[in-house]
Structure 1
Amino acid sequence: MELNGKQVLVLIDLYQERRLLWDSSDSQHKLKNQRHDSLTEIAVSFEVDKNEIERKWKNFTSHFWREKKKEAETKRTWSGADEPYVSKWFAYQPINFLGDKNKPSKTQDSTKRK
Structure 2
Amino acid sequence: ASNMEWSKEDALRLIEAFKSFPVLWNPGENDYYKKNKISDAWRDIAMNVGRPEDDCQRRIICLLLSYQTEKLREIKSIATGKGSSEVYCSRWFAYEALRFLEDRVKPRPRIDTVS
TM interval, short-chain normalised? 0.7 to 0.9
Residue 68 to residue 98, structure 1, CA distance change in 2 (3 Å): same
Is the Cα–Cα contact under 8 Å of residues 13 and 49 in structure 2 kept in the other structure? no
Residue 44 of structure 1, CA deviation: 1.9
Asked whether 1:2 is paired with 2:5, we answer: yes
- Cα deviations by residue, 1:19-41 (Å, 9 ceiling, x for unpaired): 10110110011110111011011
Residue 62 of structure 1, CA deviation: 0.2
Q: Within 1, Cα distance between the matches of 2:8 and 2:93?
A: 8
Q: Quote the sequence identity (%).
A: 25
Asked whether 1:94 is paired with 2:91, we answer: no
Runs of 4+ off more than 6 Å: none
Q: Within 2, Cα distance between the matches of 1:19 and 1:12?
A: 12
Find the structure with the greater CA-based Rg: 1
Aligned to 1:71: 74
Q: What count of residue pairs does the alignment treat as equivalent?
A: 110
With normalisation by structure 2, the TM-score equals: 0.85
Q: Within 2, Cα distance between the matches of 1:30 and 1:97?
A: 20
Structure 1 unaligned spans of 5+: none
Give the alignment's Cα RMSD to 1 decimal: 1.8
**Range moving further from structure 2, 81-90 or 27-36:** 81-90
* Aligned match for 2:60, one of 52, 57, 71: 57
Q: Within 1, Cα distance between the matches of 2:22 and 2:57?
A: 15
With normalisation by structure 1, the TM-score equals: 0.85
Structure 2 unaligned spans of 5+: none
